[in-house]
Each structure stands twice: as C-alpha cells, then as structure tokens.
A and B are shown apart, each in its own frame.
Chain A
Amino acid sequence: MTARSLSSVSGVLKSVISSRWPGVCAAATCNRRHVSTYTTIPPPAQYGGRHTVTLIPGDGIGPELANHVHELFRFCCVPVDFEVVNVDPSIASEGDINNAIMAIRRNGVALKGNIETNHNLPPSYKSRNNLLRTTLDLFANVMHCQSLPGVRTRHKNVDIMIIRENTEGEYSSLEHENVPGVVECLKIITRTKSLRIADYAFRMAREKGRRRVTAVHKANIMKLADGLFLQCCKEVASGYPEISFDSMIVDNTTMQLVSRPQQFDVMVMPNLYGNVVSNVCAGLVGGPGLVPGANYGDDYAVFETGTRNTGKSIANRNTANPTAMLLASCLLLDHLKLHAYAGMIRRAILTIVTETRLHTADLGGQGSTSEVVQSIMNAIQSTRAHTLST
C-alpha cells in the first residue's frame, strides 16, 4: 500500500472513530492540524516545504495558460514545483495519459488543461480527460459560478455552486451495436456513487454555510435511473436538517436559470445534466474564461478551467482569458493549504477583472493575455510593497 492510501485510510478511520468516540481519539488527533472534512488530505511537502504538482498543459490555449501560471507562481515565490507531463492526443496508444495518471498518483494534485478528443476516431479511442477522471476516481466536479463585479452580464447576483457526479452516468462510454444501424448507449447510475456525491454536496453546503441544495434530474422519464439518484439525495438530505432540499427537472432548471438564476444555491446532479447546467451557469456569469473548476476524489484532486474548453480557435494568439486558469491555480493553492498565497493571488485577479480596459476578447474588450497577467503581477507587487512598508 502506498503512503498516500495508508494515510487516507487512517484518516478515514480516525474520522469515523473520532465521530463515534470523541473522547478516545482527542489525544491522538489533537496534534494534527484541523483538516476540513470535504477535501482530501494534501500530500506532505516533500523537500524543504515545497510541494510538487503535476501540470498537464493540454491542447489549444492550455500550454500558454500553463506558462502564465508558471510565471505567476515564480513571481510570487509560491513553494510549488511543477512536474510537466505532456499528453499528445494524436497518438492512439494510452501511454501518455497513463504517464500523466501515474504522475498524479505520485504527487496527489494536478493542474490540467483540456486534452482534445477527435470525435471522428473510432470508439476504441477514449476521451483522455474522461479516462483520467474515471481512473483516478475524481468523483466530484465542483464549480462555483459567481457574478464578478466589473463583468457586464445580463443577470446580476448569481452565486451558484454546482456539484456534478464525475465518473458514471452517461459518460460510462459503454456502447454497442447489436443490430446494424441500432446503437445502444448505457447510462449507469449506482447507489454507492449517488450516495457519495449527494453526501459530498451536503457536506460542502454545510461547510460553506449554504442554505439549500437542489437536485437536478429527469426522473419523470428515466424513472429507475434518475429515480435512484433522487432517492439517494433524499436519503442524504434527511441527515442534514438545517439544509433545505428540493429537486427540479432538468429542462425546467435550464428555463429557470435563464430567467431567474438567483433562486439557486447549491445544485447536485448526475454527469450529463451537470455538463449542461455548468455550461449554462458559466455563460450566465461571463463565459468560459472566468470560472475555475475542481475535480475532487478521495485521494487526488485535479484543477482545471470550469467549462473544459481547448480553445483551439484562439490558441497562440495571446487573446485567451487567463482568469479561469489562474483562479484554478488559486484553488490548487487552497487545497495545498497555502492560503496566504492563494488569497494574495485571488485578490489581485479579482481587482484586475474589474478593470474594463484589460478585458480580453471574450469579455468584449481588446486586452491581451500577457497584459492581464502583467497587471496581476503589478497588483501583487503593489500590495507586497504596501505590506513591506508598513
């Protein structure tokens, strides 16, 4: 057993024992820092307090954004070293992605760009991103969509947390053609995974002080599959009486999202609906360039942009919006418990996003990526100078 799985097993055991017999384990656990229950235990810093993080640049705008993250971290003296693993999507063999998965197992955390999937290739070529998520069992995809001041959108005051089941559902990639011309695709919903994601959602809601969780489903049509998901959510909801729980059918949800998105708080749903709803919400708050996403599993965490776009059409033109990737790197720093650095970078990013003259093309401006990153570094520099001088 690896050190990580040992520590995670002991972590689970400790939390189970300490919840049942609090007195017994108080002594044993008091010397450990308080770890919030919904994120995994971060890997111990290996050399001199520095963390090693796997970096998968991906395709399209991925490599340039990864460089900007690198630059920014170096500028801020963040104690993180990146282990870069390139995944070439044109190769048929899965060697590259297996290397990436191995690197993530080694380091425990990763920052990732989206790897392109050519959908004209035969089904034997699986989506690399999907393979990564299912192999590492990153069961929860969390996206926090918030209206940002300074970004003009049709809807104001949007603050929705989307928790999407990341490993099963329609993305099981189980398809077959029994009769020529008739293709069946299986959507699998299991009780264990549904309970797991529902539990994650409610724990997250409790940690963040959220009032309401909405389950999104289509159980009027898919009575057994989404019915099971809904039932699991209801079961978990009964254990969190302070959080109100309701459910909504996915087509009604999208309609409500475009007319009155302020009514939603936390939303939990299976894989495909999660895809639709997270993209709708990202569009509502300003587009794919602004929202970071995180994939959490029991042992690993991978951070990426929320809407998982390769941005092929704007690659290498210095017009991509780096905000999403940089905010994802802040989530990474939070996960590694480097809260001071995360806060500093995040504050700088949010200050820069309010400046209309620096907006990139996706926000309707003409700024370039490098300008934005430079301004963020300047903003950090000025706050640093301020603290040094006081």
Chain B
Amino acid sequence: HEKNVSLFFNCQVSRVVGTLLKDNPQPRTFIRGIQTVTLIPGDGIGPEISSAVMKIFEAAQAPIKWEKRNVTAIQGPGGKWMIPPDAKESMDRNKIGLKGPLNTPIAAGHPSMNLLLRKTFDLYANVRPCVSIEGYKTPYTDVNLVTIRENTEGEYSGIEHVIVDGVVQSIKLITEQASQRIAEYAFEYARNNQRASVTAVHKANIMRMSDGLFLRKCREAAEKHKDVKFTEMYLDTVCLNMVQDPTQFDVLVMPNLYGDILSDLCAGLIGGLGVTPSGNIGTNGVAIFESVHGTAPDIAGKDMANPTALLLSAVMMLRHMGLHGHAKKIEAACFDTIREKKVVTKDLGGNSKCSEFTDAICQRVKDMD
C-alpha cells in the first residue's frame, strides 16, 4: 500500500512538473476528489461496451464520474459541420474523454467523426501501447511496445490535385512545429512511463527533406532528454524486424502514414483491434481514449461484444490521470479473466456473453480488495 502511495505521489510530481513546464499550465484536480470524464458511447456495440466499462469501474470504486454525450455531427451556422456544442463544452471542461466506436454513414455529407473530433480538439498524438495478452495466444509472445503516431499532418493532409487527366498528386505535409510537438511528446511519454528507448521511424533516404525534417526534430528532442535512448530506423527495417522479433522495440515515434500502418501491424501482433487500447492526446491537456475497432453492427445489441479494447483504453486513461492503483487493479482483473479462459467472449475463444464476461471481471476486482 505504501509503495502504491509513493508511486502515486511520484507520478503526480512528474505530472505537475510536466504541467508546469508546458505553455499553459492547467491545474488538474484528480489528486483528490472525483474526476468527471466525458463518455461517448458511440454506435453499434458502443453502448453495451461502454456500460460494461462503467460497471467495472463502479466495482473497482474508481473515482470517476461519467458524463455521457453524443457527438453526431450537426451543421452549425454558416454550414460548417461541427460536433454538438454540449459535447464540446463537456470535453473542454473535463479534458478527458472515453470514446466508443463511431460510425460515419456513407451519404452523411459530413466528414468522418474521428476526423472532426481530431480537428476540434487538435489531437496531435495517437498512442497505442501493444502488450501481449496472456491467455490470448498469437504467434507473437512478449510484445511490449508503444507506437506514437503524429495525427494531424503528413500523408493524411488530404491535399490532392488532378494535374492533368490521368496524373494525380497527393501532398505529404511535414511541418517543423508538428514534428517538434510529437517528438517532445514521445520523449515525455517515455520518461513518464519508464520506457528505456525511443526509435524514430522514417524513410529519409528517399524523402530527404520531409522525413529529414521530422528526424531533425526528433534528434533535437533527444538532446533535451538524454536519459532516454534514441535510435532511428528505416521503415522497411522496422517492418522486417517487427515480424521476426518484436521484443527489440520499445517506443516508436513516426509521421502519420507510417504510424497508421505500424500501429495496425503491432495491433495484429497482439491479437487485433478487439484487444488494443488507444489514446489521442491533444493540446491544452485534452485527451480522448478510444477503442479502435469498428461498430460491429451485426452483433450490436446481442450481448456478444468484447469490451476488452474499451476497457484497456479506460485503464490507459486512468494511468494518464495518475490513478495507477485502480488502473493496475482493473487491468489485472481483465487479464486474469482472459487468462483463465472460463468466461470469455466468442472472439477470445470462449462462448460467454458480454455481460457474463463483465461480471466475471467485476467479481475479480471486488475480490482483489
């Protein structure tokens, strides 16, 4: 118990120091009292897995109060698509959000919801810790790495032109500011989470200027964080080595496209999107944690969904807020339940219902106290 408290305190200290070093210090009140978190259940299986997570948090007596909001886009004055004002206001106030899977209808007319959220809150870093789950066997064991992906620019800037009929150019944008931001975040993350090394993934042999700029910013950030080891590696070498021996990697930082591919590759190593947590960090201390799988409309409402991804994202959220004790408890309960294989959902190899799986975890959490 003492160890937990001192660990808790140390993390609070580093967080406070980190906050003080940032440009706009935001005093946060999760050291004592209940923290309110905006919950976006989402579509499809979203509501069921969100209620599962709320139930487990209640069983663990986590000091979290949930504020449910809907983020279906509405058209504001001037015809611009935006998220509903009450959702925005809630996020601005709470700063932390948990999001289920969102569905963008094809003929909706508005851009994808994830894109809208990202733009509204300037979520520049996508963090995906990939840790092998005992009990969910994949050909890869002992995976323990984190992919940090720049989320706002790069190849996904959406700037494309048809130059002449039959010739299309797509622009990849790399800016100094965004690269610096993501590099700094990566090193701070490594420091705050006791990770030993950061690897920058690039293709500067071909894209000399753009990835060269990204690499330079990473090197500069490495200079400021001498306690974390820094290496750089080509994208193809990373892919090659990742499928042969993923244990050699720790924290990976990279621009948008490589990040997209590599983070999904790493998710595949540990078992897919159904068990992978993900967090999006924005400016001004905003962070939205989400499950990255789809809405699974075919099993929606049938109590068959697997809440693991959303639960692990919520655990990531607890760690981000400094509530390491609760995070550890819930994570251990979840992993133990999966390892036992007695009450697991269909995609994990069992045939239990979502509610049964949730209850099993709740029971375990209660037993831990």
Chain A interfacial positions (CB closer than 8 Å to B): 117, 119-123, 125, 127, 130, 154-155, 170-171, 173, 175-177, 180-192, 218, 221-225, 228, 250-252, 254-259, 272-273, 275-276, 278-280, 282-284, 287-288, 307-309
* Chain B residue with the shortest CB-CB distance to A125: B208
Q: State how many angstroms separate the Cβ of B282 from the closest Cβ of chain A.
A: 20
Closest 5 CB pairs of A and B: A191-B166, A255-B268, A283-B243, A181-B176, A251-B264
Contact A190 B244, CB 8 Å, known A255-B268, A309-B237: no
Q: State how many angstroms separate the Cβ of B333 from the closest Cβ of chain A.
A: 26
Interface residues of B in 208-248 (CB under 8 A from A): 208-213, 215, 235-237, 239-244
Q: Contact: A283 with B240, CB < 8 Å?
A: yes
Contact A225 B169, CB 8 Å, known A250-B261, A259-B272: yes
Report chain B residues within 8 Å CB of A287. 240, 244
CA distance A308 to B209 in the complex (A): 22
Q: State how many angstroms separate the Cβ of A293 from the closest Cβ of chain B.
A: 12
Q: State how many angstroms separate the Cβ of B115 from the closest Cβ of chain A.
A: 10
Q: Contact: B207 with A175, CB < 8 Å?
A: yes
CA distance A279 to B167 in the complex (A): 28
CA distance A188 to B171 in the complex (A): 9
Q: Contact: A225 with B170, CB < 8 Å?
A: yes
Report chain A residues within 8 Å CB of B261. 250-251, 254, 273, 276
16 further interface pairs, Cβ-Cβ under 8 Å (given A175-B207, A251-B264): A180-B176, A182-B175, A185-B174, A186-B170, A190-B167, A218-B257, A222-B170, A250-B260, A255-B272, A255-B273, A257-B268, A258-B269, A259-B139, A272-B203, A279-B237, A283-B243
* Chain A residue with the shortest CB-CB distance to B213: A183
Report chain A residues within 8 Å CB of B265. 251, 254-255, 257-258, 280
* Chain A residue with the shortest CB-CB distance to B164: A190
Report chain B residues within 8 Å CB of A288. 240
Q: Kindly state whether residue B135 has any CB partner on chain A within 8 Å.
A: no
CA distance A184 to B206 in the complex (A): 14
Report chain A residues within 8 Å CB of B160. 222-225
Q: State how many angstroms separate the Cβ of A235 from the closest Cβ of chain B.
A: 12
Q: Contact: A284 with B243, CB < 8 Å?
A: yes
Contact among B158, B175, B206 for A173, CB-based, below 8 A: B206
Q: Kindly state whether residue B204 has any CB partner on chain A within 8 Å.
A: yes
Of the A-B pairs whose beta carbons lie under 8 Å apart in the complex, a sample of 26, sorted by A's number, is: A117-B205, A120-B212, A154-B140, A170-B172, A170-B203, A171-B206, A182-B174, A182-B175, A186-B170, A187-B172, A188-B169, A190-B168, A225-B168, A251-B260, A254-B239, A254-B262, A254-B264, A255-B265, A256-B268, A272-B257, A275-B203, A275-B235, A276-B236, A287-B240, A287-B244, A307-B236
Q: Kindly state whether residue B138 has any CB partner on chain A within 8 Å.
A: yes
Contact A189 B172, CB 8 Å, known A171-B206, A257-B268, A284-B243: no
Q: Contact: B166 with A255, CB < 8 Å?
A: no
Chain B interfacial positions (CB closer than 8 Å to A): 138-140, 155-156, 158, 160-162, 165-177, 202-213, 215, 235-237, 239-244, 257, 260-265, 267-269, 272-273
CA distance A180 to B156 in the complex (A): 21
Contact A122 B206, CB 8 Å, known A185-B174, A275-B236: no
Q: Contact: B239 with A279, CB < 8 Å?
A: yes
Q: State how many angstroms separate the Cβ of B23 from the closest Cβ of chain A.
A: 18
Report chain B residues within 8 Å CB of A120. 212
Contact among A175, A224, A257, A309 for B170, CB-based, below 8 A: A224
Q: Contact: B139 with A254, CB < 8 Å?
A: no
Report chain A residues within 8 Å CB of B264. 251-252, 254-255
* Chain B residue with the shortest CB-CB distance to A221: B156
Q: Contact: A222 with B206, CB < 8 Å?
A: no
Report chain A residues within 8 Å CB of B269. 258
Report chain A residues within 8 Å CB of B162. 224
Contact A258 B177, CB 8 Å, known A119-B204, A280-B240: no
CA distance A257 to B240 in the complex (A): 12
CA distance A211 to B87 in the complex (A): 50
Q: Contact: B173 with A183, CB < 8 Å?
A: yes
Q: State how many angstroms separate the Cβ of B158 from the closest Cβ of chain A.
A: 7
Which among A221, A258, A279, A284 has the highest number of chain B CB atoms within 10 Å? A258
Contact A185 B171, CB 8 Å, known A117-B205, A222-B160, A258-B243: yes
Q: State how many angstroms separate the Cβ of B149 from the closest Cβ of chain A.
A: 11
Q: State how many angstroms separate the Cβ of B238 from the closest Cβ of chain A.
A: 8
CA distance A182 to B156 in the complex (A): 15
CA distance A130 to B172 in the complex (A): 19
Q: Contact: A187 with B240, CB < 8 Å?
A: no
CA distance A183 to B273 in the complex (A): 33
Contact among B138, B172, B242 for A283, CB-based, below 8 A: B242
Report chain B residues within 8 Å CB of A278. 236
CA distance A337 to B138 in the complex (A): 44
Report chain A residues within 8 Å CB of B204. 119
Report chain A residues within 8 Å CB of B244. 283, 287
Contact A181 B139, CB 8 Å, known A255-B265, A276-B236: no
Contact A181 B177, CB 8 Å, known A187-B155, A259-B138, A259-B268: yes
* Chain B residue with the shortest CB-CB distance to A177: B209
Q: State how many angstroms separate the Cβ of B358 from the closest Cβ of chain A.
A: 26
Report chain B residues within 8 Å CB of A192. 166
Q: State how many angstroms separate the Cβ of A70 from the closest Cβ of chain B.
A: 27
Report chain A residues within 8 Å CB of B170. 186-187, 189, 222, 224-225
Q: State how many angstroms separate the Cβ of B128 from the closest Cβ of chain A.
A: 12
CA distance A221 to B206 in the complex (A): 22
CA distance A121 to B211 in the complex (A): 13
CA distance A154 to B269 in the complex (A): 11
Q: Contact: A282 with B156, CB < 8 Å?
A: no
Q: Contact: A280 with B239, CB < 8 Å?
A: yes
Report chain B residues within 8 Å CB of A282. 240
Report chain A residues within 8 Å CB of B260. 218, 250-251
Q: Contact: B169 with A283, CB < 8 Å?
A: no
Contact among B174, B202, B268 for A258, CB-based, below 8 A: B268
* Chain B residue with the shortest CB-CB distance to A181: B176
* Chain B residue with the shortest CB-CB distance to A273: B261
Contact among A130, A182, A222, A276 for B239, CB-based, below 8 A: A276
CA distance A184 to B209 in the complex (A): 8
Q: Contact: B174 with A119, CB < 8 Å?
A: no
Report chain B residues within 8 Å CB of A189. 167-170
* Chain A residue with the shortest CB-CB distance to B167: A190
Report chain B residues within 8 Å CB of A224. 160-162, 168, 170
Q: Contact: B206 with A127, CB < 8 Å?
A: yes
Report chain A residues within 8 Å CB of B174. 182-183, 185
Q: Contact: A127 with B205, CB < 8 Å?
A: yes
Report chain A residues within 8 Å CB of B176. 180-182
Q: State how many angstroms separate the Cβ of A58 from the closest Cβ of chain B.
A: 14
Q: State how many angstroms separate the Cβ of A145 from the closest Cβ of chain B.
A: 11
* Chain B residue with the shortest CB-CB distance to A259: B268
